[in-house]
Homo-oligomer: A and B are copies of this chain.
Protein backbone atom coordinates (compact mmCIF):
# COMPACT_ATOMS: atom_id res chain seq x y z
CA UNK A 1 0.00 0.00 0.00
CA UNK A 2 2.86 2.34 0.85
CA UNK A 3 4.23 1.63 -2.61
CA UNK A 4 0.94 2.49 -4.31
CA UNK A 5 0.73 5.76 -2.37
CA UNK A 6 4.29 6.67 -3.35
CA UNK A 7 3.59 5.76 -6.96
CA UNK A 8 0.44 7.90 -6.98
CA UNK A 9 2.20 10.87 -5.46
CA UNK A 10 5.04 10.68 -7.97
CA UNK A 11 2.55 10.32 -10.80
CA UNK A 12 0.61 13.36 -9.60
CA UNK A 13 3.81 15.44 -9.83
CA UNK A 14 4.31 14.37 -13.45
CA UNK A 15 0.82 15.10 -14.78
CA UNK A 16 0.05 17.86 -17.25
CA UNK A 17 -2.67 20.43 -16.63
CA UNK A 18 -4.88 18.39 -18.95
CA UNK A 19 -4.55 15.27 -16.82
CA UNK A 20 -4.36 16.79 -13.35
CA UNK A 21 -8.04 17.59 -12.99
CA UNK A 22 -9.81 14.78 -14.78
CA UNK A 23 -13.03 13.32 -13.43
CA UNK A 24 -12.65 9.99 -11.67
CA UNK A 25 -14.32 7.88 -14.33
CA UNK A 26 -14.81 7.75 -18.10
CA UNK A 27 -17.71 9.66 -19.62
CA UNK A 28 -19.38 6.69 -21.28
CA UNK A 29 -20.19 3.49 -19.51
CA UNK A 30 -20.88 1.12 -22.37
CA UNK A 31 -21.73 -1.74 -20.04
CA UNK A 32 -25.42 -1.25 -19.47
CA UNK A 33 -26.94 -3.12 -16.58
CA UNK A 34 -29.01 -5.92 -18.10
CA UNK A 35 -32.09 -5.31 -15.99
CA UNK A 36 -32.11 -1.52 -16.50
CA UNK A 37 -34.17 0.53 -18.92
CA UNK A 38 -31.60 2.99 -20.22
CA UNK A 39 -32.59 6.45 -21.44
CA UNK A 40 -29.08 7.73 -20.66
CA UNK A 41 -26.86 7.55 -23.72
CA UNK A 42 -27.14 8.43 -27.38
CA UNK A 43 -26.31 4.87 -28.36
CA UNK A 44 -27.83 3.65 -31.63
CA UNK A 45 -30.55 1.02 -31.52
CA UNK A 46 -28.68 -2.29 -31.02
CA UNK A 47 -31.10 -4.50 -32.97
CA UNK A 48 -30.74 -2.48 -36.17
CA UNK A 49 -26.92 -2.52 -36.29
CA UNK A 50 -26.15 -3.98 -39.74
CA UNK A 51 -23.79 -6.77 -38.66
CA UNK A 52 -24.45 -9.10 -41.61
CA UNK A 53 -24.04 -6.32 -44.17
CA UNK A 54 -20.79 -5.18 -42.56
CA UNK A 55 -19.47 -8.74 -42.57
CA UNK A 56 -20.22 -9.05 -46.29
CA UNK A 57 -18.70 -5.65 -47.00
CA UNK A 58 -15.55 -6.64 -45.11
CA UNK A 59 -15.14 -9.82 -47.12
CA UNK A 60 -15.46 -7.84 -50.36
CA UNK A 61 -13.17 -5.01 -49.23
CA UNK A 62 -10.43 -7.40 -48.10
CA UNK A 63 -10.73 -9.44 -51.29
CA UNK A 64 -10.41 -6.38 -53.52
CA UNK A 65 -8.09 -4.16 -51.50
CA UNK A 66 -6.74 -6.27 -48.64
CA UNK A 67 -3.18 -5.02 -48.92
CA UNK A 68 -4.37 -1.45 -48.78
CA UNK A 69 -6.95 -1.94 -46.01
CA UNK A 70 -4.39 -3.55 -43.68
CA UNK A 71 -1.58 -1.07 -44.39
CA UNK A 72 -0.86 2.42 -43.09
CA UNK A 73 -3.06 4.99 -44.75
CA UNK A 74 -3.18 8.61 -45.83
CA UNK A 75 -3.14 11.24 -43.09
CA UNK A 76 -6.48 12.55 -44.34
CA UNK A 77 -8.09 9.11 -44.43
CA UNK A 78 -8.95 6.56 -47.13
CA UNK A 79 -9.74 8.50 -50.29
CA UNK A 80 -12.26 5.90 -51.48
CA UNK A 81 -14.42 6.60 -48.45
CA UNK A 82 -13.88 10.35 -48.74
CA UNK A 83 -15.15 10.20 -52.33
CA UNK A 84 -18.30 8.33 -51.26
CA UNK A 85 -18.83 10.85 -48.47
CA UNK A 86 -18.49 13.94 -50.62
CA UNK A 87 -21.03 12.50 -53.06
CA UNK A 88 -23.47 11.90 -50.23
CA UNK A 89 -22.82 15.26 -48.51
CA UNK A 90 -23.29 17.12 -51.77
CA UNK A 91 -26.51 15.28 -52.58
CA UNK A 92 -28.20 15.17 -49.14
CA UNK A 93 -26.65 17.93 -47.05
CA UNK A 94 -26.08 20.31 -49.94
CA UNK A 95 -22.40 20.78 -49.04
CA UNK A 96 -20.03 21.78 -51.78
CA UNK A 97 -17.02 19.70 -50.85
CA UNK A 98 -14.28 17.85 -52.67
CA UNK A 99 -11.53 15.53 -51.51
CA UNK A 100 -9.41 18.41 -50.15
CA UNK A 101 -12.23 19.52 -47.87
CA UNK A 102 -12.53 16.28 -45.91
CA UNK A 103 -10.63 14.65 -43.06
CA UNK A 104 -11.64 11.29 -41.58
CA UNK A 105 -11.51 11.07 -37.79
CA UNK A 106 -12.06 8.43 -35.09
CA UNK A 107 -15.70 9.42 -34.67
CA UNK A 108 -17.09 12.82 -33.79
CA UNK A 109 -15.34 12.94 -30.43
CA UNK A 110 -11.85 12.78 -31.94
CA UNK A 111 -12.90 15.40 -34.48
CA UNK A 112 -13.89 17.81 -31.72
CA UNK A 113 -10.74 17.09 -29.68
CA UNK A 114 -8.59 17.63 -32.75
CA UNK A 115 -10.22 20.95 -33.64
CA UNK A 116 -9.74 22.11 -30.06
CA UNK A 117 -6.07 21.10 -30.20
CA UNK A 118 -5.65 23.08 -33.39
CA UNK A 119 -7.37 26.24 -32.20
CA UNK A 120 -7.27 26.44 -28.42
CA UNK A 121 -4.35 27.26 -26.15
CA UNK A 122 -4.90 26.83 -22.41
CA UNK A 123 -7.18 29.65 -21.26
CA UNK A 124 -8.56 30.55 -24.70
CA UNK A 125 -12.25 31.33 -25.06
CA UNK A 126 -14.77 29.20 -26.94
CA UNK A 127 -18.47 29.86 -27.40
CA UNK A 128 -20.95 27.08 -26.92
CA UNK A 129 -24.65 26.52 -26.78
CA UNK A 130 -26.04 25.80 -23.35
CA UNK A 131 -27.12 23.12 -22.76
CA UNK A 132 -24.78 21.24 -25.11
CA UNK A 133 -23.35 17.78 -25.65
CA UNK A 134 -21.74 16.62 -22.39
CA UNK A 135 -18.75 15.25 -24.33
CA UNK A 136 -18.03 18.80 -25.51
CA UNK A 137 -18.23 20.12 -21.95
CA UNK A 138 -15.58 17.55 -21.03
CA UNK A 139 -13.47 18.23 -24.13
CA UNK A 140 -13.40 21.99 -23.38
CA UNK A 141 -12.12 21.26 -19.86
CA UNK A 142 -9.45 18.89 -21.21
CA UNK A 143 -7.76 21.66 -23.17
CA UNK A 144 -8.37 24.43 -20.65
CA UNK A 145 -10.85 26.26 -22.89
CA UNK A 146 -12.93 28.97 -21.19
CA UNK A 147 -16.47 28.35 -22.41
CA UNK A 148 -18.85 31.25 -22.89
CA UNK A 149 -22.44 29.96 -22.83
CA UNK A 150 -25.16 31.12 -25.20
CA UNK A 151 -28.61 29.82 -24.28
CA UNK A 152 -30.67 27.59 -26.55
CA UNK A 153 -34.34 28.45 -26.89
CA UNK A 154 -37.01 26.82 -29.05
CA UNK A 155 -35.45 28.24 -32.24
CA UNK A 156 -31.93 27.09 -31.37
CA UNK A 157 -28.93 29.11 -30.23
CA UNK A 158 -30.15 32.58 -29.25
CA UNK A 159 -28.57 34.82 -31.89
CA UNK A 160 -29.13 38.04 -29.93
CA UNK A 161 -27.33 36.57 -26.95
CA UNK A 162 -24.57 35.35 -29.27
CA UNK A 163 -24.14 38.86 -30.69
CA UNK A 164 -24.02 40.36 -27.19
CA UNK A 165 -21.31 37.92 -26.13
CA UNK A 166 -19.27 38.47 -29.30
CA UNK A 167 -19.48 42.24 -28.75
CA UNK A 168 -18.54 41.96 -25.11
CA UNK A 169 -15.58 39.72 -25.86
CA UNK A 170 -14.39 42.06 -28.59
CA UNK A 171 -14.61 45.00 -26.20
CA UNK A 172 -12.51 43.01 -23.75
CA UNK A 173 -9.95 42.23 -26.45
CA UNK A 174 -10.74 38.52 -26.40
CA UNK A 175 -10.87 36.55 -29.66
CA UNK A 176 -13.15 33.54 -29.27
CA UNK A 177 -11.55 30.64 -31.12
CA UNK A 178 -14.75 28.91 -32.17
CA UNK A 179 -18.50 28.63 -31.80
CA UNK A 180 -19.58 25.07 -31.09
CA UNK A 181 -23.11 24.38 -32.26
CA UNK A 182 -25.47 21.49 -33.04
CA UNK A 183 -28.21 22.83 -35.31
CA UNK A 184 -30.31 19.70 -35.87
CA UNK A 185 -32.26 18.01 -33.03
CA UNK A 186 -29.63 19.32 -30.71
CA UNK A 187 -27.94 17.07 -28.20
CA UNK A 188 -29.34 17.36 -25.52
CA UNK A 189 -32.27 19.74 -26.10
CA UNK A 190 -33.73 18.17 -29.22
CA UNK A 191 -34.20 21.68 -30.66
CA UNK A 192 -33.57 22.49 -34.34
CA UNK A 193 -32.11 25.91 -35.16
CA UNK A 194 -34.38 27.89 -37.49
CA UNK A 195 -33.19 29.00 -40.93
CA UNK A 196 -33.21 32.67 -39.94
CA UNK A 197 -31.08 31.96 -36.90
CA UNK A 198 -28.69 29.87 -39.00
CA UNK A 199 -28.14 32.78 -41.37
CA UNK A 200 -27.55 35.22 -38.53
CA UNK A 201 -25.12 32.91 -36.72
CA UNK A 202 -23.04 32.46 -39.88
CA UNK A 203 -23.04 36.22 -40.47
CA UNK A 204 -21.94 36.84 -36.89
CA UNK A 205 -19.07 34.36 -37.15
CA UNK A 206 -17.94 36.08 -40.33
CA UNK A 207 -18.23 39.54 -38.81
CA UNK A 208 -16.30 38.63 -35.68
CA UNK A 209 -13.67 36.51 -37.48
CA UNK A 210 -14.20 33.28 -35.62
CA UNK A 211 -14.77 29.66 -36.74
CA UNK A 212 -17.97 27.69 -36.32
CA UNK A 213 -17.69 24.01 -35.47
CA UNK A 214 -21.01 22.61 -36.65
CA UNK A 215 -21.64 19.19 -35.12
CA UNK A 216 -24.26 17.53 -37.31
CA UNK A 217 -24.25 13.94 -36.08
CA UNK A 218 -28.01 13.58 -36.51
CA UNK A 219 -28.73 15.37 -39.83
CA UNK A 220 -29.97 12.27 -41.67
CA UNK A 221 -32.22 11.10 -38.85
CA UNK A 222 -34.98 13.60 -39.51
CA UNK A 223 -38.58 12.38 -39.34
CA UNK A 224 -40.44 15.66 -38.88
CA UNK A 225 -40.28 19.16 -40.42
CA UNK A 226 -38.21 20.07 -43.47
CA UNK A 227 -34.50 19.59 -44.07
CA UNK A 228 -32.67 22.87 -43.54
CA UNK A 229 -29.29 23.80 -45.00
CA UNK A 230 -26.33 23.28 -42.66
CA UNK A 231 -24.35 26.38 -41.61
CA UNK A 232 -21.55 25.09 -43.85
CA UNK A 233 -23.85 25.48 -46.88
CA UNK A 234 -24.83 29.01 -45.84
CA UNK A 235 -21.23 30.21 -45.55
CA UNK A 236 -19.01 31.31 -48.42
CA UNK A 237 -16.06 32.50 -46.35
CA UNK A 238 -14.50 29.28 -45.00
CA UNK A 239 -15.77 30.06 -41.50
CA UNK A 240 -17.44 26.72 -40.86
CA UNK A 241 -16.04 23.30 -40.01
CA UNK A 242 -18.73 20.67 -40.47
CA UNK A 243 -18.60 17.48 -38.39
CA UNK A 244 -20.37 14.23 -39.27
CA UNK A 245 -20.17 10.61 -38.13
CA UNK A 246 -21.18 7.04 -38.94
CA UNK A 247 -21.93 6.47 -35.26
CA UNK A 248 -25.66 7.02 -35.60
CA UNK A 249 -26.28 5.92 -39.20
CA UNK A 250 -24.05 2.83 -39.57
CA UNK A 251 -22.53 1.75 -36.25
CA UNK A 252 -20.83 3.60 -33.42
CA UNK A 253 -18.29 0.78 -33.19
CA UNK A 254 -16.86 1.80 -36.59
CA UNK A 255 -15.44 4.89 -34.85
CA UNK A 256 -15.44 6.87 -38.09
CA UNK A 257 -16.37 10.51 -38.35
CA UNK A 258 -15.39 13.36 -40.66
CA UNK A 259 -14.64 17.03 -40.73
CA UNK A 260 -15.46 19.16 -43.77
CA UNK A 261 -13.83 22.56 -44.06
CA UNK A 262 -11.43 24.87 -45.89
CA UNK A 263 -8.54 22.86 -47.40
CA UNK A 264 -5.79 24.71 -45.54
CA UNK A 265 -7.37 23.98 -42.16
CA UNK A 266 -8.19 20.38 -43.11
CA UNK A 267 -4.53 19.88 -44.05
CA UNK A 268 -3.34 21.35 -40.76
CA UNK A 269 -5.65 19.04 -38.84
CA UNK A 270 -4.37 16.05 -40.84
CA UNK A 271 -0.78 16.94 -40.02
CA UNK A 272 -1.54 17.55 -36.34
CA UNK A 273 -3.30 14.21 -36.04
CA UNK A 274 -0.27 11.95 -36.75
CA UNK A 275 -1.87 8.57 -36.28
CA UNK A 276 -0.85 6.57 -39.34
CA UNK A 277 -4.25 7.12 -40.95
CA UNK A 278 -7.66 6.96 -39.28
CA UNK A 279 -8.90 3.42 -38.84
CA UNK A 280 -7.82 2.33 -42.32
CA UNK A 281 -9.46 -1.10 -42.10
CA UNK A 282 -12.78 0.33 -40.89
CA UNK A 283 -12.71 3.03 -43.56
CA UNK A 284 -12.35 0.46 -46.34
CA UNK A 285 -15.23 -1.53 -44.89
CA UNK A 286 -17.42 1.56 -44.59
CA UNK A 287 -16.62 2.60 -48.17
CA UNK A 288 -17.70 -0.83 -49.37
CA UNK A 289 -20.88 -0.84 -47.26
CA UNK A 290 -22.00 2.70 -47.99
CA UNK A 291 -23.08 2.78 -51.67
CA UNK A 292 -25.30 -0.29 -51.39
CA UNK A 293 -26.73 0.10 -47.90
CA UNK A 294 -26.55 3.60 -46.41
CA UNK A 295 -29.73 5.08 -47.87
CA UNK A 296 -31.91 2.10 -47.05
CA UNK A 297 -30.41 1.90 -43.57
CA UNK A 298 -31.16 5.54 -42.87
CA UNK A 299 -34.77 5.01 -44.02
CA UNK A 300 -35.08 2.07 -41.66
CA UNK A 301 -33.64 4.05 -38.76
CA UNK A 302 -35.98 6.98 -39.37
CA UNK A 303 -38.96 4.65 -38.96
CA UNK A 304 -37.56 3.16 -35.74
CA UNK A 305 -36.63 6.43 -34.04
CA UNK A 306 -39.78 8.19 -35.21
CA UNK A 307 -41.85 5.47 -33.57
CA UNK A 308 -39.79 5.62 -30.38
CA UNK A 309 -40.04 9.39 -30.18
CA UNK A 310 -43.82 9.15 -30.44
CA UNK A 311 -43.94 6.38 -27.83
CA UNK A 312 -41.91 8.48 -25.43
CA UNK A 313 -43.83 11.71 -26.05
CA UNK A 314 -47.11 9.84 -25.53
CA UNK A 315 -45.83 8.26 -22.35
CA UNK A 316 -44.59 11.58 -20.98
CA UNK A 317 -48.00 13.17 -21.68
CA UNK A 318 -49.76 10.28 -20.02
CA UNK A 319 -47.62 9.96 -16.90
CA UNK A 320 -45.77 13.15 -16.04
CA UNK A 321 -47.35 15.43 -13.44
CA UNK A 322 -48.17 19.10 -14.00
CA UNK A 323 -45.21 21.44 -14.04
CA UNK A 324 -43.05 19.08 -16.11
CA UNK A 325 -42.35 20.19 -19.71
CA UNK A 326 -40.45 18.64 -22.60
CA UNK A 327 -39.34 19.26 -26.15
CA UNK A 328 -40.60 17.40 -29.23
CA UNK A 329 -37.64 16.87 -31.56
CA UNK A 330 -38.01 16.63 -35.35
CA UNK A 331 -35.32 13.95 -35.41
CA UNK A 332 -32.36 12.55 -33.60
CA UNK A 333 -32.37 10.73 -30.27
CA UNK A 334 -33.22 13.17 -27.47
CA UNK A 335 -36.05 14.72 -25.51
CA UNK A 336 -35.18 17.44 -23.02
CA UNK A 337 -37.25 17.55 -19.88
CA UNK A 338 -37.56 20.52 -17.53
CA UNK A 339 -38.86 19.79 -14.05
CA UNK A 340 -40.06 22.12 -11.31
CA UNK A 341 -37.20 24.04 -9.67
CA UNK A 342 -37.47 22.03 -6.49
CA UNK A 343 -36.21 18.89 -8.20
CA UNK A 344 -32.52 18.06 -8.52
CA UNK A 345 -32.09 15.55 -11.33
CA UNK A 346 -28.78 14.20 -9.95
CA UNK A 347 -30.80 13.02 -6.98
CA UNK A 348 -33.66 11.94 -9.23
CA UNK A 349 -31.28 9.89 -11.38
CA UNK A 350 -30.06 7.94 -8.35
CA UNK A 351 -33.62 7.22 -7.26
CA UNK A 352 -34.71 6.23 -10.78
CA UNK A 353 -31.73 3.90 -11.10
CA UNK A 354 -32.86 2.03 -8.00
CA UNK A 355 -36.22 1.60 -9.69
CA UNK A 356 -34.53 0.28 -12.85
CA UNK A 357 -34.48 3.36 -15.11
CA UNK A 358 -31.35 5.29 -16.12
CA UNK A 359 -31.41 8.94 -17.26
CA UNK A 360 -28.87 11.71 -17.84
CA UNK A 361 -29.01 14.59 -15.33
CA UNK A 362 -29.07 17.77 -17.39
CA UNK A 363 -26.43 19.62 -15.38
CA UNK A 364 -23.77 17.55 -17.17
CA UNK A 365 -24.74 19.41 -20.36
CA UNK A 366 -24.07 22.86 -18.88
CA UNK A 367 -20.76 24.70 -18.72
CA UNK A 368 -22.23 26.99 -16.04
CA UNK A 369 -23.67 25.95 -12.72
CA UNK A 370 -27.20 25.50 -14.08
CA UNK A 371 -29.65 22.91 -15.32
CA UNK A 372 -30.11 21.09 -12.02
CA UNK A 373 -33.85 20.63 -12.72
CA UNK A 374 -33.36 19.27 -16.26
CA UNK A 375 -32.71 15.86 -17.74
CA UNK A 376 -32.02 14.33 -21.11
CA UNK A 377 -33.99 11.29 -22.20
CA UNK A 378 -32.67 9.26 -25.08
CA UNK A 379 -35.14 7.02 -26.89
CA UNK A 380 -32.56 5.48 -29.20
CA UNK A 381 -31.27 2.60 -27.13
CA UNK A 382 -34.20 1.25 -25.13
CA UNK A 383 -36.50 -0.93 -27.21
CA UNK A 384 -40.12 -0.08 -28.02
CA UNK A 385 -41.55 -2.17 -25.18
CA UNK A 386 -39.40 -0.49 -22.55
CA UNK A 387 -40.31 3.11 -23.28
CA UNK A 388 -43.78 3.41 -21.77
CA UNK A 389 -42.98 1.37 -18.62
CA UNK A 390 -39.70 3.26 -18.20
CA UNK A 391 -41.39 6.66 -18.40
CA UNK A 392 -44.09 5.50 -15.98
CA UNK A 393 -41.45 4.49 -13.41
CA UNK A 394 -39.66 7.80 -13.92
CA UNK A 395 -42.88 9.77 -13.55
CA UNK A 396 -43.63 7.96 -10.30
CA UNK A 397 -40.24 8.95 -8.95
CA UNK A 398 -40.85 12.56 -10.02
CA UNK A 399 -44.25 12.55 -8.32
CA UNK A 400 -42.72 11.16 -5.14
CA UNK A 401 -40.06 13.88 -5.15
CA UNK A 402 -42.65 16.60 -5.71
CA UNK A 403 -44.75 15.33 -2.80
CA UNK A 404 -41.67 15.23 -0.61
CA UNK A 405 -40.51 18.75 -1.47
CA UNK A 406 -44.08 20.09 -1.17
CA UNK A 407 -44.18 18.65 2.35
CA UNK A 408 -41.04 20.48 3.41
Contact = CB atoms under 8 A, between A and B. Distances in A.
Interface of A: 3, 6-8, 10-11, 13-19, 22-28, 30-31, 41, 43-44, 46-47, 49-52, 54-55, 58-59, 62-63, 66-76, 106-107, 109-110, 113, 117-122, 124, 135, 138-139, 142, 175, 177-178, 209-211, 237-238, 247, 250-255, 262, 264-265, 267-272, 274-282, 284-285
B26 A271 contact: yes
- The count of identical subunits is 2
Given A135-B274, A274-B142, A253 B47 contact: no
A7 to B, nearest CB: 4
Given A17-B121, A26-B271, A277-B28, A71 B3 contact: no
18 contacts: A3-B237, A7-B237, A7-B262, A7-B264, A10-B209, A13-B209, A14-B178, A16-B118, A26-B270, A27-B75, A28-B277, A44-B71, A51-B70, A107-B276, A109-B275, A110-B275, A142-B272, A254-B280
Nearest to A69: B253
Contacts of A27: 75, 271, 274
Contacts of A110: 275
A255 B278 contact: yes
Nearest to A177: B14
Contacts of A262: 7, 11
A60 to B, nearest CB: 9
Given A10-B209, A30-B72, 18 more contacts: A16-B119, A16-B124, A18-B272, A19-B272, A25-B271, A26-B74, A51-B66, A70-B254, A72-B253, A73-B253, A109-B275, A110-B275, A122-B122, A135-B274, A253-B280, A253-B281, A255-B275, A255-B279
A72 B15 contact: no
B43 A70 contact: no
A109 B276 contact: yes
Main secondary structure of the interface of A (DSSP, over half): helix
Given A109-B276, A275-B109, A55 B62 contact: yes
B62 A120 contact: no
Nearest to A70: B251
A62 to B, nearest CB: 4
B52 A62 contact: yes
Contacts of A47: 67
Contacts of A276: 28, 107, 109, 247, 252, 255
B43 A67 contact: no
Contacts of A43: 71-72
Q: Which of A66, A177, A210, A281 has the most CB of B within 10 A?
A: A281
B30 A73 contact: yes
B72 A28 contact: yes
A106 to B, nearest CB: 5
Contact of A247 (B25, B72, B284): B72
A18 B274 contact: no
A314 B204 CA distance: 66
Nearest to A107: B276
Contacts of A106: 106, 275, 278-279
A120 B16 contact: yes
Nearest to A211: B14
Q: Which 9 A-B pairs have the closest CB atoms?
A: A51-B66, A70-B251, A26-B75, A253-B280, A19-B118, A70-B253, A49-B70, A7-B238, A58-B58
A184 to B, nearest CB: 20
A117 to B, nearest CB: 5
A70 to B, nearest CB: 3
Contacts of A118: 15-16, 18-19
